[in-house]
Structure 1
């Protein structure tokens, strides 16, 4: 169960740097406060790795949470990677 985030703003950006798609999501909520990574974040990290990418989750100094995915475009364009998300578990 997740606590209410007490968030008043968020930001989403998507850009291409060289052959990499960079996706960033940031909010100004309370941050993770040292909480362990849940199944959702672990699943996103695993999916990014399956296509040769990385996912980082940080808490900026001013608070909130920042999630950044760096996904390679060159291999994807050649059709090298095909990812099937794992089934969702009902909770």
Structure 2
């Protein structure tokens, strides 16, 4: 098992401090979602929230997969998805 995978497996609900780390992660996630929502709304107000949620989901998936697979491929795929998401959002097409 690789070092990065082992590190991610060490935090469980029984780990001391898990609740605090989980709460901080949730706060950071909501902050990031709000930041992306503001950006998407600056491009086009209608549909900004679903587009932001889609972006955060793509980013979370890329971050999780990046430590398990080819980082270069994941990065290229993520950037392509983000570019298409922004094109769809600014054109008024649904993002999900």
TM-score bracket relative to the smaller structure: under 0.3
Structure that is richer in strand per residue = 1
Q: Which has the larger radius of gyration?
A: 2
Structure that is richer in helix per residue = 2
TM-score if structure 1 supplies the norm length? 0.26
